[in-house]
Amino acid sequence: MPGGREETVEDIEILMLFSKSDDPALFTGEVADEIGFSNQGTLPRLRELEEKGLLETKSGGRVPIWWLSDEGHEYLDQNL
């Protein structure tokens, strides 16, 4: 994108947020704040990690909550 900068965050960085958090589950906005993205920019990444089986989600009303799946924990164990 001309004049802008393209920022990237690796999957493992997002997964580590969940692993290091005192809370077992995080809202999209909490993840967005930590990685410096908007909620709209973060949501597709979280959905992608869910499709890969690394996160699980549940919606409480309109707001989804996310947590590491068993596969997500295994992925971190193998890659850290």
Residue 16: what pLDDT? 97
Contact between 56 and 50 (Cβ < 8 Å): yes
Residue 2: what pLDDT? 44
Q: How many residues does the chain have?
A: 80
Contact between 66 and 57 (Cβ < 8 Å): yes
Q: What b-and-e string marks burial along 14-39, b requiring 16 or more CB atoms within 10 Å of the CB?
A: bbbbbeeeeeebbebebbbebeebee
Tell me the C-alpha distance between 35 and 49, whole Å.
Answer: 15
For residue 50, the one-letter residue type is E
Q: Please give the span between the terminal C-alpha atoms of the chain, in angstroms, as a whole number.
A: 32
Structural domains of the chain sorted by starting position, each given as residue range(s) with its CATH number in brackets? 11-79 (1.10.10.10)
pTM (2 decimals)? 0.86
List, run by run, the mean pLDDT of 10-residue segments along the chain (80 residues).
Answer: 60 96 94 94 96 94 93 96
Residue 62: what pLDDT? 84
